[in-house]
Amino acid sequence: MEAFIELDGVEKVFDVRRRAGLLRREKSQVRAVDGLSFTVARGEMVGYIGPNGAGKSTTIKMLTGILTPSGGRLRVAGIDPARERTRLARRIGVVFGQRTTLWWDLPLKDSYRLMHRMYRIPDQRFRENLERCVELLDLGELLEVPVRQLSLGQRMRGDIAAALLHDPEVLYLDEPTIGLDVISKAKVRDFLRDLNADRGTTVLLTTHDLTDIEQLCRRVMVIDHGRLMYDGALAGLHEVGESERTLIVDLERELPPVVIDLARTVRVEGPRQWLAFPASQSAAPLVSALAARYPVMDLSLREPDIEAVIAKMYAGRSGQ
Amino acid sequence: MRLYGVVMVGWFRRYATYRMATAAGVFTNTAFGFIMAYTYTALWDERPQLGGYDVSQAVTYVWLGQALLMACALMGGGFEDELIERIRTGDIATDLYRPADLQLWWLACDLGRAFFHLVGRGVIPMAIGAFAFDLTLPGSALTWIAFLVCVVLGLLVSFAIRFLVALSAFWLMDGSGMAQISWLAGMFFSGMLLPLTVFPGTLGEVARALPWSSVLQIPADVFLGKRTGWALAEAYAFQAGWALALLGAGRLLQTAATRRVVLQGG
């Protein structure tokens, strides 16, 4: 497969000045990205995860050309982003979950008119793309609404549409589902899945929500302290990290800790009990076994969060 | 260029959506117009022909100042507040991955805003002033056109100064101090407090040679018919010269700032 994004030993070092006295300042260096190498093929959809400050945003900024690497080689579609930022800009789409590129005080459609001119999208193509986004992202009734009146989920869908009107070959998404409710999350995920399948758009997705990755990405990369810690399938990450899902069970009354083969009880609080089981396993057999033997009132499932998985990965490594 | 046209129209409409704010602003401009017009009347009664103006011209000067105050963002309220905030929060980085030029983008934004304020907060106070006082209005359409050209050049100079001020936030992290200094300098040196023709000696000459005089003093003189023919051409050349020099400086500073962001991460 053709490599679309290529990183070879990419580094980013920031100088940090710190006050060390009344007038004296100490200079120190922070390696935000430290020898990062990976390739992403055209049409791949990759999850890019890591704790806060791991170097995710720095990587995305280098990929869009708004940060210059301190070392190493970086190419997107054969272009050096830092050198030809404007040329590359026409071929990429970027969505930052916590920032909006939409015009705050004006109706949503005005922002799209702006994109039309900014990316010099041919009229015909602009109309088709907008129609498609409006339909799939359910924006029909929102086009006339000023952006400041949109809910977070609506605004996010609006932002995603804005990033796609010029048919970018690659889409960078930074926390696209942060703060969204379940329905909005599902809409965004469905849309991204279709986009990748129908148009072959390469997608690099940064997220804290493992469900995003589970539902969208076959491949996941984990970065921490600017280094690639893991690159492979999500299932493999769970194995490496020995991560666990938690089933929260509400029983009819207070009972001694549940004893069951498929899980272990980690916490009991009145009639509520917490059962942990490996993330690579389905919850279905556990639920049916539990329901057969215990008076279950209610159930809820908690996915392992990314921080916990990575923390375990570390623990595993240092123990070796 | 159509992009910048859309941006300009967008910012015009953005300000147009806040009707109550505009109404409140019109009231403020009108109230200040009355206060200053009476003050000037008292002053010019004592010192007739001060600065080469008669009472009617002096009062006209006051209302012109109120009409142009918001358009030129002499007391803030221009695009710079937003740009400074974007630099401070780092949102500016997301502006850089767009295929658009930073300076032209913000120029289009500010011109859209300025044209709205010219109409929204300029015309009505001026009209009220013309009802309440004996103003010296241009007799010919040509003077009106010459005045409007002058105002647009003044807007360019005003933008260019504020763009430099806003970009300083890349180095100072907090641009509000610079913005305040610039408002203070703008208020005085544009002639908003008193016409620059009033100041004698070196202070007057320096004040008239600084870029801020392009913003109010020169348009007012054109409006009052004090600059015609060669004097008008000179005025245009003065304004255009400052606009080019300051926009050029802004361009250099923008290149340095972009390099700083791209290398340092802001």
How many Å lie between the alpha carbon of B7 and the closest alpha carbon of chain A?
7
Structure token digits, residue B154: 């003044």
Query: Tell me, what's the pLDDT at A176?
Result: 86
| Chain A residue nearest residue B18, CA to CA | A105
Measured CA to CA, the distance from residue B22 to residue B118 in angstroms comes to 11
For tokens 């003077």, the residue is B143
Q: Which of B220, B234, B101 is nearest to B163 (CA)?
A: B101
Query: What residues does A268 pair with on adjacent strands?
Result: A273
- Complex prediction ipTM: 0.84
Under the banding of pLDDT at 50, 70 and 90, the label for residue A319 is very low
Q: For residue A137, count other CB atoms closer than 10 A to its CB.
A: 20
Is pLDDT of A22 > 90?
no
How far is Cα of residue A240 from the mean position of the Cα atoms in its chain? 20
Q: Would the CA dihedral through A49, A53, A59, A64 be positive or negative?
A: positive
Pairing of strands A264-269, A227-232: unpaired
Helix or strand run (H / E) with residue A285: helix A284-293
Query: Tell me, what's the pLDDT at B227?
Result: 94
Within 8 A of B2 by CB-CB distance, chain A residues are 117
Q: Is A4 helix (H, G, I), strand (E, B) or coil?
A: strand
Instruction: Work out the average pLDDT over A13-37.
Output: 81
Query: Tell me, what's the pLDDT at B70?
Result: 94
Under the banding of pLDDT at 50, 70 and 90, the label for residue A1 is low
Within 8 A of A67 by CB-CB distance, chain B residues are 261-263, 265
Q: A3-239 belongs to which CATH class?
A: alpha beta
Most confident of A53-67, A174-188, A255-269, B153-167: B153-167
Instruction: Work out the average pLDDT over A156-160.
Output: 92
Instruction: Work out the average pLDDT over A177-192.
Output: 86
Asked if A114's CB is within 8 angstroms of B10's CB, the reply is yes
How many Å lie between the alpha carbon of A222 and the closest alpha carbon of chain B?
22
Instruction: Work out the average pLDDT over A217-230.
Output: 90
Asked if B264's CB is within 8 angstroms of A15's CB, the reply is yes
**Percent of chain B scored above 90 by pLDDT?**
81
pLDDT in tens, A70-109: 999 999 999 999 889 888 999 999 998 778 889 888 999 9
| Chain B residue nearest residue A69, CA to CA | B263
Asked if B265's CB is within 8 angstroms of A110's CB, the reply is no
| Contact criterion met (CB below 8 Å) for B2 and B10 | no
Domain that holds residue B62: 2-264
The residue of A15, A27, A66 whose CB has the most chain B CBs within 10 angstroms, and thus the best one to mutate to test that interface, is: A66
| Chain B residue nearest residue A148, CA to CA | B14
Mean pLDDT of chain A: 87
Measured CA to CA, the distance from residue A225 to residue A313 in angstroms comes to 14
Q: For residue A48, count other CB atoms closer than 10 A to its CB.
A: 26
Query: What strands, in cross-sheet order, belong to the sheet with A25-41?
Result: A25-41, A3-19, A71-76
Structure token digits, residue B50: 């001060």
Measured CA to CA, the distance from residue A211 to residue A45 in angstroms comes to 14
Instruction: Work out the average pLDDT over A224-228.
Output: 89
| Chain B residue nearest residue A32, CA to CA | B265
Total of domains in chain B: 1
Is pLDDT of A241 > 80?
no
Query: Tell me, what's the pLDDT at A183?
Result: 85
What count of CB pairs under 8 Å joins A to B?
A: 66
Query: Tell me, what's the pLDDT at B265?
Result: 63
* Amino acid letter, residue A236: G
Measured CA to CA, the distance from residue A89 to residue A256 in angstroms comes to 61
Confirm or reject contact between B260 and chain A (CB < 8 A). no
Query: Tell me, what's the pLDDT at A316?
Result: 60
| Contact criterion met (CB below 8 Å) for A304 and A210 | yes
Q: Is A181 exposed, middle or buried (0-12, 13-18, 19+ CB in 10 A)?
A: exposed
Instruction: Work out the average pLDDT over A33-40.
Output: 94
Domain boundaries, chain A: 3-239, 244-303
| Chain A residue nearest residue B95, CA to CA | A101
Query: Tell me, what's the pLDDT at B46?
Result: 95
Query: Tell me, what's the pLDDT at A28?
Result: 82
Identify each DSSP E strand in chain B by its residue range: none
How many Å lie between the alpha carbon of A106 and the closest alpha carbon of chain B?
6
How many Å lie between the alpha carbon of A179 and the closest alpha carbon of chain B?
19
How many Å lie between the alpha carbon of B125 and the closest alpha carbon of chain A?
26
Confirm or reject contact between B19 and chain A (CB < 8 A). no
Query: Tell me, what's the pLDDT at B96?
Result: 82
Q: Is B190 helix (H, G, I), strand (E, B) or coil?
A: coil
Measured CA to CA, the distance from residue B18 to residue A105 in angstroms comes to 9
Under the banding of pLDDT at 50, 70 and 90, the label for residue A174 is confident
Query: Tell me, what's the pLDDT at B185?
Result: 93
Query: What residues does A34 pair with on adjacent strands?
Result: A11
How many Å lie between the alpha carbon of B243 and the closest alpha carbon of chain A?
26
Within 8 A of A92 by CB-CB distance, chain B residues are 97
Numbered residues of chain A with Cβ closer than 8 Å to any chain B Cβ? 12, 14-15, 32, 58, 61, 64-68, 82, 85-86, 89-90, 92, 94, 96, 99, 101, 103, 105-106, 110, 113-114, 116-119, 146
Structure token digits, residue A199: 């148009």
pLDDT in tens, B122-148: 999 999 999 999 999 999 999 999 999
Asked if B13's CB is within 8 angstroms of A110's CB, the reply is yes
pLDDT beneath 50, residues of chain B = 266
- B47/A23: higher pLDDT: B47
Q: Is B60 exposed, middle or buried (0-12, 13-18, 19+ CB in 10 A)?
A: buried
How many Å lie between the alpha carbon of A307 and the closest alpha carbon of chain B?
25
Asked if A85's CB is within 8 angstroms of B17's CB, the reply is no
In this complex, which of B94, B99, B263 lies closest to A118 when CB atoms are compared?
Answer: B99
